[in-house]
Amino acid sequence: MLHAIIVKAALSELSEKHYHPTDSMFNVFINNLYEWQTLASGILALIGAIITVYFLTRQIKIQKSQIKKYDDEKRDINLVRSFRYRNEVCIELHEMEDYARKCLNKHLLNPETRIRPPVKLLTSITNSIEYLDINSARYMFHMMNTYQIHEARMKEHYENRVTSDKIALSYNAIILSKMSNNIYKYARNQSNEIQNIKVSKGDIEREYMKIKPDNWLDIEVDEMIIQKIERKIPTTMNIIDLSLDNPAHNTYFIS
């Protein structure tokens, strides 16, 4: 009987305080949350960082894929343009040899001969340079520069009537012809790039014999040109290293 009275009194006291079990559990949870809030914040921050890194990595992969696609498309377009200009150069390449032949005829036989520049070839070369590999572009640039120097010297010698060395001018024309003929394999797609081949004095002498005027019979001048070649090319040289001769000697003059 006494035990029952004590239990009844305890329940009455709890009822007066409006105690509910759920309130106690909530308070425990809140208290624990306050105690562990630093750790919880760290975990949430870590989760947020992982999510951020994931999406950034995904975005970077997408951008790299887009850049690669753009680069591939650009490379394909440049390759097609390279084929186009390579074909044009192949068609017009004979112009440079014809130009060299006429230059030799002018230097050796008829100073009054009018020479038209190889305009179509020069245009094709100029258009093609930006689409070529670095070695081929360097070769084309060197040949264009060689041509421009030769043209400037001819203009000075003939139009301005400056006394000059026709052996040196003839040597320049021979070098241009040899440089242009070296492009044929590349222009015909038989080589991936223009080869910076080794040439000997014999190669340049044969080039001279090929393009000199048919009615040219001056053996003395022939020997002087051969001697010039031998002095300029004592051993084999890379074709791109062949330099034009400076026509400032007093060997054989044009007035």
pLDDT in the model for residue 5: 52
Beta strands in 125-163 (DSSP E): none
The DSSP symbol for 192 reads S
- Comparing CA positions, the residue from 154, 136, 144 lying closest to residue 119 is 144
In the block, tokens 């038209």 appear at 116
CA atoms 200, 201, 205, 207: torsion sign: positive
- Comparing CA positions, the residue from 199, 205, 169, 168 lying closest to residue 182 is 199
pLDDT in the model for residue 16: 47
In angstroms, the CA 47 to CA 56 distance is 14
- Comparing CA positions, the residue from 61, 78, 108 lying closest to residue 222 is 108
The DSSP symbol for 196 reads -
pLDDT in the model for residue 207: 92
Statement: residue 164 has pLDDT above 60: no
- State mean pLDDT over 127-156: 86
Highest mean pLDDT, choosing among 27-31, 32-36, 227-231, 242-246: 227-231
Query: Where in the chain are the domains?
Result: 70-254
Model confidence over 9-41: pLDDT tens digits?
A: 544 554 444 444 455 666 666 666 666 677 777
Which pLDDT band holds residue 174 (cuts at 50, 70, 90)? very high
pLDDT in the model for residue 255: 32
Q: Are 175 and 228 in contact (CB under 8 A)?
A: no
pTM (predicted TM-score):
0.65
Q: Are 165 and 249 in contact (CB under 8 A)?
A: yes
pLDDT in the model for residue 184: 86
Complete DSSP assignment for 48-97: HHHHHHHHHHHHHHHHHHHHHHHHHHHHHHHHHHHHHHHHHHHHHTHHHH
Torsion of CA 233, 236, 241, 243, to 10 degrees: 10
